[in-house]
Amino acid sequence: MAKLHFYYSTMNAGKSTSLLQSNHNYKVRNLKTFIFTPKVDAELHEGQIHSRLGVNEKANVFDEGFNFYDFFKTRKDEKISCILVDEAQFLTESQVKQLCNVCDSFNIPVMCYGIRTDFRGELFTGSMSLLAYADTMIELKTICEYENCARKATMVARYVDGKLVTVGEKVVIGGEHYKVYCRKHYRKITGLI
């Protein structure tokens, strides 16, 4: 029976790299996959999933109105081996439920990769839904950026022009705007928790 997997972490933990590696593993065995990236990220990266290591792959682009169940219902006879979704925090709750339905109805594994919380420590809608509905949840880890801290980073802080910000739009695309910290140092730096 196929499962819905949620791989989550902070920024710079290798989520897109892991997705691209998984996709590669299917492809070299001549197995069919579909990879997706949200429109908000696709616009910045020309419709590709990209890794900071320099690996890229063309992806199907989804927006808030995209219906995953309808898309795969017409392809249920194509022997699809896996569906991979990058930046899954941008999925809507309805889209997460659609992916659950695709997984359960068509027996296609779904692997979603995303950030758990925003720069204020609040869950993204897609992540909240994936935490509720996924069969498995796998945390990808990276290290706190605070001075000599070696703890696991669990929080994301936003910087604009080198200055910490704790208010603003929920979404600002671009890894250069963010640093990752353990909860202790995030609290010390932001005062948000």
How far apart (Å, rounded) are the C-alpha atoms in residues 151 and 148? 9
pLDDT digits (tens, 9 = 90+) for 71-125: 999 998 899 999 999 999 999 999 999 999 999 999 999 999 999 999 999 999 9
Type and span of the H or E element at 24: helix 15-27
Model confidence, pTM? 0.94
Paired with 181 in beta bridges are: 155
How far apart (Å, rounded) are the C-alpha atoms in residues 186 and 193? 8
pLDDT digits (tens, 9 = 90+) for 3-48: 999 999 998 899 999 999 999 999 999 999 999 999 987 676 677 8
Would you call 101 exposed, middle or buried from its count of C-beta atoms within 10 A (0-12, 13-18, 19+)? Answer: middle
Question: Burial letters for 62-94: b for 16+ Cβ neighbours within 10 Å, e otherwise?
Answer: beeebebbebbeeeeeeebbbbbbbbbbbbbee
Q: What residues contact 6, with CB distance under 8 A and at least 6 apart? A: 88, 112, 114, 127, 130, 131, 134, 136, 137, 138
Q: How far is CA 170 from the centre of its chain?
A: 15
Of 65-74, 93-102, 161-170, 180-189, the range with the lowest mean pLDDT is: 161-170
* Catalytic residue, candidates 46, 64, 87, 93: 87
Number of neighbouring beta carbons within 10 Å of residue 115: 23
Catalytic residue flag (residue 87): yes
- Pull the structure tokens for residue 171: 């979404």
